[in-house]
């Protein structure tokens, strides 16, 4: 190396010499590394330690919980009818005033006769005459003094006379309309001396000792409503009435896709609530359900509500659930096993089927406090919980 430097120093500049020396040094280092790699095996890569995701869990135990279907409905009288004039005449007497109680069959008012009684007497006389004619003809026929055709003709005249008599009797009865059921006179539409024609409204009669409430049940909830289920009705002023489901329609309304439901309601104090609105709470059969913070409810990729839990094998499970009721202090859901280990923290960072490490923070029992979650709680919506 020294002789080479002396040789080139006489005819080569110092800069070129430095460059040559650097190239020679690099080649020497590379050749040394290659020889070392052939003689020695490369060091084995250190294995990367795999760690499991840690989640916080609590045990939840299902308990029997009552359910209710909440609907908005309208209250109506149990019976309501307009007393209409069936004959023309002048109002002579009002037997019942507004607010009076009446019994079925009791007369409500009286119209002028307008000759209907005389027509009734005439119809009775004609009927008796036809009866005698038929009786005589039948006796004469036995002796062949009257033909069979004549007897048949007289029997037809008797039938016509009987029809005229029935019509005359009804016309006289229509002079005094009667109550078709036990109830209360709600309105007068005529006054004494007023002339009415057939078809005119004269009185309104209602029965409010019982009421009926009707509402519409969404098609997704109609399967939970059945005849005979108890119902609590809350009025706008806070008062409550008791009732039960009387009828659920078999076909949905084609416009709303909802089903008509009718509730029978007791009204022993005759509250003046008919025609108003009320909140209907249909008491459904109890279910085994869990109650915990609404923050633990999660929307899955399919848009359905679910709860993430840890199975016995330590893997994450997503359980689809149905909300029975939901409020700020807790959600009641069904669809979970009777006893389940629910993830209360870390559910947003794990996926179903993933192996996790759990940290139990509560002894077995129902989760009643509002757990803190890694995602904000879902806000109640019309599609969550009992139908409004």
For residue 15, the model assigns a pLDDT of 72
Q: Is residue 384 part of a domain?
A: no
Which residue, among 386, 296, 384, has the nearest Cα to 340 in the 3D structure?
A: 296
- Tokens for 102, please give them: 């009446």
Which ranges in 143-257 belong to alpha helices (H)? 148-173
Q: Clarify whether residues 195 and 211 are in a common domain.
A: no
| 387 pLDDT above the threshold of 50 | no
For residue 47, the model assigns a pLDDT of 57
Q: How many angstroms separate the CA atoms of 71 and 63, rounded?
A: 25
For residue 69, the model assigns a pLDDT of 87
Torsion angles phi and psi, residue 27, rounded to 5? -60, -35
Q: Clarify whether residues 182 and 124 are in a common domain.
A: yes
Q: What is the CATH number of the domain that holds 147?
A: 2.40.50.100
User: Length of the chain in residues, anyone?
Assistant: 388
Query: pLDDT tens, 318-362?
Result: 999 988 777 777 888 888 999 999 999 988 888 889 999 888 886
Q: Is residue 64 part of a domain?
A: no
Q: State the residue for tokens 């009641």.
A: 332
Structural domain containing residue 27: 2-39
Residue 80 pairs in a beta bridge with 206
Query: pLDDT tens, 281-317?
Result: 998 888 888 988 888 988 877 788 899 999 999 999 9
Q: Clarify whether residues 128 and 178 are in a common domain.
A: yes
Q: Is residue 221 part of a domain?
A: yes
Q: How many angstroms separate the CA atoms of 37 and 137, rounded?
A: 143
- Tokens for 12, please give them: 């080569």
Residue 292 pairs in a beta bridge with 331
Q: Is residue 271 part of a domain?
A: yes
Q: What are the strands, taking DSSP E only, across 16-171? A: 53-61, 63-84, 89-94, 101-102, 109-111
Whether residue 134 contacts residue 155, with contact meaning beta carbons closer than 8 Å, is answered with: yes
Whether residue 259 contacts residue 249, with contact meaning beta carbons closer than 8 Å, is answered with: yes
For residue 52, the model assigns a pLDDT of 82
Which residue, among 175, 72, 69, 62, has the nearest Cα to 116 in the 3D structure?
A: 175
- Tokens for 356, please give them: 């996790």
Residue 328 pairs in a beta bridge with none
Q: Clarify whether residues 100 and 157 are in a common domain.
A: yes
Q: Clarify whether residues 197 and 235 are in a common domain.
A: no
Q: What is the CATH number of the domain that holds 225?
A: 2.40.30.170
Q: Is residue 192 part of a domain?
A: yes
Q: State the residue for tokens 């359910």.
A: 67
Residue 192 vs residues 85, 153, 197: alpha-carbon distances, Å: 14, 47, 14
**Which among 167, 184, 201 is the end of a domain?**
201
Q: How many angstroms separate the CA atoms of 23 and 11, rounded?
A: 19
Indicate the number of domains in the chain: 3
Query: pLDDT tens, 29-45?
Result: 776 655 555 555 555 55
Which residue, among 96, 116, 94, has the nearest Cα to 193 in the 3D structure?
A: 94
Burial of 35 (0-12, 13-18, 19+ CB in 10 A): exposed
**Which among 243, 267, 286 is the end of a domain?**
286
Q: Which of 141-150, 168-177, 356-365 has the lowest mean pLDDT?
A: 356-365
Q: In a 3-state reduction of DSSP, which class is residue 353?
A: coil
**Which among 183, 201, 219 is the end of a domain?**
201
Q: Clarify whether residues 177 and 197 are in a common domain.
A: yes
Question: How many CA atoms lie less than 13 Å away from 247 in the CB half-sphere?
Answer: 9
Q: Clarify whether residues 188 and 223 are in a common domain.
A: no
Query: pLDDT tens, 81-103?
Result: 999 999 999 999 999 999 999 99
Q: Is residue 131 part of a domain?
A: yes
């Amino acid at each position: 190396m020294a002789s080479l430097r002396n040789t080139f120093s006489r005819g080569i500049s110092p800069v070129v010499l430095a460059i040559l020396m650097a190239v020679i040094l690099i080649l020497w280092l590379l050749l040394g590394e290659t020889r070392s790699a052939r003689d020695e095996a490369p060091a084995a890569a250190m294995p990367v330690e795999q760690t499991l995701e840690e989640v916080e869990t609590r045990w939840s135990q299902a308990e029997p919980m009552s359910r209710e279907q909440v609907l908005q409905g309208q209250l109506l009288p149990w019976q309501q009818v307009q007393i209409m004039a069936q004959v023309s005449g002048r109002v002579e007497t009002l037997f019942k005033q507004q607010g009076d109680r009446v019994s079925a069959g009791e007369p409500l008012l009286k119209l002028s006769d307008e000759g209907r009684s005389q027509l009734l007497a005439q119809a009775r006389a004609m009927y008796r005459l036809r009866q005698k004619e038929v009786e005589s003809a039948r006796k004469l026929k036995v002796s062949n003094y009257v033909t069979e055709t004549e007897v048949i003709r007289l029997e037809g005249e008797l039938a016509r006379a009987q029809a005229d008599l029935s019509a005359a009797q009804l016309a006289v009865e229509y002079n005094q309309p009667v109550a078709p059921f036990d109830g209360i006179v709600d309105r007068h539409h005529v006054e004494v001396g007023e002339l009415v024609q057939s078809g005119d409204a004269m009185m309104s009669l209602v029965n409010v000792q019982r009421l009926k409430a009707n509402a519409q049940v969404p098609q997704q909830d109609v399967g939970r409503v059945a005849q005979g289920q108890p119902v609590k009705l809350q009025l706008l002023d806070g008062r409550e009435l008791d009732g039960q489901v009387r009828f659920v329609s078999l076909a949905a309304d084609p416009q709303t896709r909802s089903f008509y439901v009718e509730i029978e309601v007791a009204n022993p104090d005759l509250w003046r609530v008919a025609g108003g609105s009320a909140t209907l709470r249909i008491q459904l059969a109890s279910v085994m359900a869990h109650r915990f913070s609404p923050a633990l409810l999660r929307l899955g990729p399919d848009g359905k509500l679910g709860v993430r839990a840890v199975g016995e094998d330590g893997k994450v499970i997503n359980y689809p659930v149905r909300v029975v009721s939901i409020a700020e202090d807790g959600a009641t859901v069904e669809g979970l096993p009777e006893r389940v280990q629910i993830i209360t923290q870390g559910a947003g960072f794990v996926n179903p089927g993933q192996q996790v490490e759990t940290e139990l923070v509560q002894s077995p029992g129902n989760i009643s406090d509002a757990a803190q979650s890694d995602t904000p709680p879902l806000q109640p919506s019309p599609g969550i919980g009992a139908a409004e």
